[in-house]
Amino acid sequence: MVTCLYSLSSETSGLTIFPLSWRRTRRAAHEMLTKVAVRDYHPTFCKEAIILASSILENPKALDKHIERSSASATMAILYDYPTLKNEHDKTITEIHGFIDRVSAATAPGANLVELFPWMIYIPERYVVVLPVVFLYR
């Protein structure tokens, strides 16, 4: 049995469940994202801003791709000490944004049958059949 924390959030539609391992992860992230610690990331953000501005000037039609590259590159540089991603067609960026798109589709309203048929919440777990989530892997 997994012990969980329950929280009511205004950002979600109801009760949010957090496993206890989430608390440790949140503490570690919180220490790295304080006001004092964020000052250390200023050079990374300046470098990304310069690359973003120059890439927008070169090809202004692909603005979304440039912003995706810049945000992914800054995040990976800060969290994982990853080198700067120079191209928006980088394999790492396509994998990250592909995963984000799949998660967004899975969490969209109406993506789960329970939202359409609320009575399904009351089906006992022993009768629930877990089906493979095919729509996540388009």
pLDDT digits over 81-121, tens only? Answer: 888 888 878 888 888 888 888 888 888 877 777 777 777 77
Helix (H) or strand (E) holding 17: strand 15-19
What is the domain count for the chain?
Answer: 2
Same domain, 89 and 50: yes
Residue 4 confidence (pLDDT): 42
Domain that holds residue 21: 1-32
Contact indicator for 17, 6 with CB cutoff of 8 Å: yes
Tokens for 52? Answer: 């973003």
Residue 47 confidence (pLDDT): 94
Same domain, 10 and 77: no
- For the four alpha carbons of 59, 60, 62 and 63, in that order, the dihedral sign comes to positive
Tell me which residues of the chain have a pLDDT lower than 50. 1-14, 133-138
Same domain, 9 and 52: no
Same domain, 42 and 60: yes
Interatomic CA distance for residues 70 and 74, integer angstroms: 6
Contact indicator for 88, 97 with CB cutoff of 8 Å: no
Same domain, 51 and 26: no
Tokens for 81? Answer: 């000490």
Contact indicator for 16, 22 with CB cutoff of 8 Å: no
DSSP for residue 71: H
Same domain, 8 and 27: yes
